[in-house]
Amino acid sequence: MGENLNVIIIDKDETSRDIIKNYLSSTDNVYVSAEFFDFALAEEFIAKSGKCIVLTDVSEDYPKAVSLIKNIKTENKDAYIVALSTKPSTETIIKIMRAGAKEFLNKPVIETEFLNLINTIKSELENDEISEGCKIISTFSNKGGIGKTSIAVNLAVELAQITKEKVALLDLNLQLGDVSTFLDLNPAFAMDYIAANINNLSQEDFLNVMTRYKNTSLYVIADPLNIDKSNDITAEQIKNILSALKKSFSYIVIDIGTNIDSKTIAALDASDLILLIAIVNLPAIRSTQRCMELFNRLGYSADKVKLILNRYMENEDIKTADIEEVVKQKVYWKIPNNYLTMMSAINKGVPVEEINPEANIAINYKDFSQKISDYLITQKLNKKYNEKELKII
Ligand SMILES: Nc1ncnc2c1ncn2[C@@H]1O[C@H](COP(=O)(O)OP(=O)(O)OP(=O)(O)O)[C@@H](O)[C@H]1O
Ligand SMILES: [Mg+2]
């Protein structure tokens, strides 16, 4: 027997509401605590409802639905929002999920699909875990000094800001990582302590031993405070840390070292998205090509690896098309070269947007992070609807 869970339905159409109530009547411990035909009335009620599932139709008034979902997200962090819609476009789904809905169901709602979802949400909420939704993004290159840390750090900060979800940033450069320097952090505990104590840490302990970045939803695990300890950390421990973090974080960003060892492979394997970082020069492109070959041998699917060009300048001698031909991968994103802003950010220990939000690189990072967040939503939807009618590229 679990605790009771309240469901709040928002739908203009009475028949739709009745169908859902009927489906829920067979579910233990799940009750409809209120039903609304109007967003404004619902909002106030949900704000005071604590842990609950909100089922909201978004097809009737889509812009209002987006603002309702955004408001619920700020007013009640424990509300699990499921959007319902008749024949939604891909763009609509992304915007709704971007606003904060965790799931999406097509109308008319199919009973088995609906009840499966309710049961999954119920166990996630009861166990305080949302592991299904957690996405792991890593930055990688087998060359040093390419921008892996800059990208991991700025992406993690932006993701926390855009999504307001909990983001974990891990430094896997176990000997002399840079993440804590880039964010001017003084960690009390780091990867060595967390790895050694992984079996004894509760979810709450985790938040206490990680280092919070200012007052944000970003939490960092820095490289070992004591370099000697870095060799004691095992690939198994890395896997366990990731599984534990998946229970309470929505995103995990990993700055992976250049070494290709079992810890690197464990992190790459666990990643939903690998950002393979290159710069436009021949040696870097050659080594990117080798990385791509390695990823192919490891059996990574095309949607898992994205090629990013860092320090990009227009009118480079080597054309983007040439790089794509050599690496056999489309360039997913280009980050402009802006040494002064980047250096100033690193020296001050802040993300680039704090140096100058109008700088090309700050704007680029914001757009990049939004694109990554949208991509992960489509990746999730693709998996879900692959065999059904909705195909998202
Ligand atoms: N877009 C950019 N424009 C200009 N300079 C950049 C850019 N991105 C990173 N840099 C600079 O490149 C250098 C290396 O960056 P960073 O430390 O992020 O790379 P890395 O791949 O993590 O290196 P390492 O292999 O040493 O960990 C830094 O001095 C940084 O300021
Ligand atoms: Mg680095």
First CA to last CA distance, the chain: 41
Assess whether the C-beta atom of 342 lies below 6 angstroms from ligand 1: yes
Instruction: Say which ligand is closest to the CA of 145.
Output: 1
Residues 5-44: tens digit of each pLDDT: 899 999 999 999 999 999 999 888 899 999 999 888 899 9
Assess whether the C-beta atom of 335 lies below 6 angstroms from ligand 1: yes
The residue with tokens 């490289």 is: 223
Sign for the CA dihedral angle at 114, 384, 99, 207 comes to positive
Q: Where are the alpha helices (DSSP H) in the chain?
A: 14-24, 39-47, 62-75, 90-99, 111-126, 148-163, 179-182, 191-196, 203-209, 235-246, 262-270, 282-297, 320-327, 339-348, 352-355, 360-385
Counting as low any pLDDT under 70, the low residues of the chain are: 1-2, 127-132, 384-393
Q: What pLDDT does residue 377 have?
A: 85
Assess whether the C-beta atom of 179 lies below 6 angstroms from ligand 1: no
Q: Which domains does the chain have, with CATH numbers?
A: 5-126 (3.40.50.2300), 132-385 (3.40.50.300)
The percent of residues above 90 in pLDDT, for the chain, comes to: 69
Instruction: Say which ligand is closest to the CA of 362.
Output: 1
Token output for 297: 């041998």
Q: What pLDDT does residue 390 have?
A: 47
Residues 332-384: tens digit of each pLDDT: 999 999 999 999 999 999 999 999 999 999 999 999 999 999 998 888 777 76
The CA distance from 173 to 222, in Å, is 9
Which phi and psi angles does 185 have, rounded to 5°? -105, 150
Looking at ligand 1, which residue's alpha carbon is closest to its atom 26?
A: 145
What number does the ligand 1 atom closest to the CA of 177 have?
27
Query: Distance from the CA of 279 to the center of ligand 2, in angstroms?
Result: 14
- Do 309 and 335 contact (CB within 8 A), yes or no? yes
